[in-house]
Amino acid sequence: MTEQLRLMAVHAHPDDESSKGAASMAKYVAEGVDVLVATCTGGERGSVLNPKLQGNPEVEANLPQVRRKEMDAAREILGIKHAWLGFVDSGLPEGDPLPPLPEGCFALVPVEEAAEPLVRLIREFRPHVITTYDETGGYPHPDHIMTHTITMAAFEAAGDPAAYPESGEPWQPLKVYYNHGMSMARIRALHAYLMEHGHESPFGEWIADWDKEGRREREFTTRVQCADWFDVRDGALIAHATQIDPDGPWFLVPLDVQREIWPTEEYELARSLVDTSLPEDDLFAGITVDITV
């Protein structure tokens, strides 16, 4: 039986899917791949980041519902399927010392319990490839770190008949990747362009902090050529209107310039059950077209 290739991206909050790997997903959709985004939380404890909507009482009073509508709009733009895992946003604790996380939030759910809805979804959708965050979460938000944790647990459990026997027929994904939607190499390239052309760069402080901390870039194993879908990515980002200002600094670099200086999205292969050669240019490298079940 010939199967359609399937890709699942697991994210923490609505809007994460549009800022991390969105152009890749749009490219795969255009090529006939079935793509599903699983969003762990509703972003209930997020803030209105777009200054144009800050202070809007209707938006701020109904932020969870607004963010769901934004996610649906982004889903349509990207051409993907979408599922909510149903957990509650943990918020981003700030201060010294950090305050405790709120009771009942995603990051405090026991891993075995939190992984179950994702295991069930994997068994229903049967992805060949899964993408998520690395063990740092990409940045230290507790929901991003928890998303990594349950994704890796679910990758291992979904194909095990003894694990979560009430949660569907076993299905083993073949590869799992960490996405690096805003790699420091890409940020440096965009920063250099802006500075060379006399523009203010939003990336200078970010780069300075990175260098001051002596942080190292993650290893990229896979670069997906997806420049033709950058406009789709940006459309999906802008659909998250409470989070993204369309006139903001993220859109300073023209798309034609981005396509020229950085036409890819980067991934790190974390686990593979098929043979593949690194570096790759395709998340499905090593997976044959004829998938038999």
For the full predicted model, state whether its pTM sits above 0.85.
Answer: yes
CA distance 286 to 29: 19
Angle at 47 between CA 215 and CA 177, to 5 degrees: 45
Query: How many helices (H) and strands (E) would you count in the chain?
Result: 10, 7
Best CATH choice for the domain 6-183+219-272 from the list 3.40.50.300, 3.40.190.170, 3.40.50.10320, 3.40.50.200: 3.40.50.10320
Q: What DSSP element (H or E) covers 40? A: strand 34-41
- Residue ranges per structural domain of the chain: 6-183+219-272, 184-217
Buried residues in 215-231 as b, exposed as e (16+ CB within 10 A): eeebebbbbbebbebbe
Task: Say yes or no to pLDDT of 289 above 90.
Answer: no
Taking residues 133-153, report their average pLDDT. 95
Task: Say yes or no to pLDDT of 278 above 50.
Answer: yes
Q: What DSSP element (H or E) covers 114? A: helix 111-125
Q: Is 16 annotated as a binding residue?
A: yes
The DSSP-derived string for 259-293 is: HHH--EEEEEEEEESS---SSBS-TTTT--SS---
Q: Is 240 annotated as a binding residue?
A: no
Q: Is 96 annotated as a binding residue?
A: no
Kindly report, residue by residue over 86-138, the tens digit of the pLDDT: 999 999 998 888 899 999 999 999 999 999 999 999 999 999 999 999 999 98
